[in-house]
Amino acid sequence: MRLGIFGGSFDPVHHGHLRLARECQRQAALDEIWFTPVAIQPLKMHGPQASDNHRIEMLNRAIESEPDQRPPQSSWRVCTLEIERGGLSYTVDTLRRIHEELPDAELFFMVGADTLRDVPHWREPEEVFRLATPLVVCRPGQPVPDLSALESVCTERNQPQLITMEPTSASSSEIRRRISASKPIDDLTPTAVAEYIAEHGLYR
């Protein structure tokens, strides 16, 4: 199985996340994608605004809103390993656990091109990219990233693959900004997620 691990705060999940997942699945021929919400990002110590349970439920609703991802044929799922582990969420720990549970799976890890500069600050980056092939997502308007530094910490078998995607205006910060200004967010996130946010009064 070719398994993509998509980590992030998902605070909240939006159309850009879903588009990125679709493009990674298509361009890297992934069999499954596991959305893996963090507990606390080591490089963003302030943590998510919404609770763990709210972020998990919003992810589930977002996945269910995808026409091709409705049970029982869904190849997307929410992985709660990092939330269950608690504390700082280190990618290397998550990949090790998944590799232990699924030793025959070929793992891929999605990373934004704009975060490549943070790789040297990760815990055990060489081990991360020994366990998983990086899928480097280049967003529209960004220059093509220099992958040479990343290539040097990857194994010969796990060399990075560049993923391109169409423009999107969706972002979690824009959703939170609009909510605080009492503006609609229906164009940025699935209807089921927007309804959940309104129902629970999130981000106000």
Rounded to whole angstroms, how far apart are CA atoms 60 and 64? 6
Total-model pTM: 0.94
Write the pLDDT tens digit of every residue in 3-36.
Answer: 999 999 999 999 999 999 999 999 999 999 999 9
- Quote the CA–CA distance of 131 and 62 in Å, as a whole number: 28
C-alpha distances in Å from residue 99, one per residue of 76, 85, 135, 141, 158: 18, 16, 17, 35, 15
Residue 166, classified by CB atoms within 10 Å of its CB into exposed (0-12), middle (13-18) or buried (19+), is: exposed
Per residue in 63-104, pLDDT tens? 999 988 877 778 999 999 999 999 999 999 999 999 999 999
- Are 6 and 112 spatial neighbours (Cβ–Cβ below 8 Å)? no
Residue 149's pLDDT is: 79
Q: Check whether 45 has a pLDDT greater than 70.
A: no
Task: Give the per-residue pLDDT at 112.
Answer: 87
Q: Cβ of 58: how many Cβ atoms within 10 Å?
A: 27
C-alpha dihedral over 154, 159, 165, 168, to 10 degrees?
A: 0
List, in order of start, the domains of the chain with CATH numbers: 2-168 (3.40.50.620)
**Cis amide leading into 134 (omega within 30):** no
Question: Can you point out the beta strands (E) in the chain?
Answer: 2-8, 32-37, 76-78, 106-112, 132-138, 161-164
